[in-house]
Chains A and B, each alone.
Chain A
Amino acid sequence: MPRFRRHSRYALIVPGSQPCIGEPLPNASLAVIPHQKLVDYVLDPTHHHGGPKAHVFAAALAIEHSDWRYLHDAILDELPNRPVTGAREPSRPRAVRTWEVRVLIEGLNDRAAWVITSWRMVDEHPVLVSARVAQKGRQDPRRGVR
């Protein structure tokens, strides 16, 4: 059964915090996922490039386009509990760092899979850049993805 728990919007922003590898993103409980990112890209089977992502979400976790809110809430629920696992330095002027967090998503098929998410800090809170199911070699077969 999909969960539709509302993400808390009442946490206090911790000003001036910088992400650190090994720790959760600052203000992770205030993270934002623009719904278009999921609806029109990550879970859109018709998108020229998002399509392959969407097929893997469907195959691995039974999460389909219409389940975007489930994925939205599942990522936001997990984010405060997971550490930053990577960072990407910008290569252009006035561009900003991108941070990677791996979140374990329970699918709608009683399976679970690691999903790689990338984030930018905007006005002191994380905003989702992109997401994809992690490579098969970085999944835990005991958790369902084989």
Chain B
Amino acid sequence: MARRAHELDVVSLRKPVGRFPAGTSGTVVAEDPESALVEIATDDQTTDGFPTRDLLDDLVDVPYEDLEVLQPARATAR
């Protein structure tokens, strides 16, 4: 059975969430009992790297079963 996502894991969405399609990746920034708060990685940046979207626009609640862990957080992060 796949490992449940934890804070600072890099994850991928197994299903679409809001305006973000399946396959979108992000980082777990908080854990709730049934879902994780994921900060979606934004590619929308100005040429010098500044984001073009607000932080709250990039946060989504995702059930743990709809997340695939791509890269576990460092051991020191938990």
Q: What is the interface of chain A, defined by CB distance below 8 A to chain B? A: 36-37, 39-41, 47-50, 52, 55-56, 59-60, 86-88, 90-96, 98, 100, 116-118, 120, 129-136
Contacts and interface: CB of A to CB of B under 8 A. Distances in A.
Given A52-B45, A95-B37, A100-B56, A36 B27 contact: no
Interface residues of B, number: 39
Interface string B19-58: 0000001110110111101010100011011111111100
B41 A132 contact: no
**Chain A interface mostly helix, strand, loop or mixed?**
mixed
A94 B27 contact: no
B29 A132 contact: no
Given A120-B30, A129-B37, A91 B54 contact: no
Given A52-B45, A136-B46, A92 B77 contact: no
Contacts of A49: 10, 25-27, 39, 41
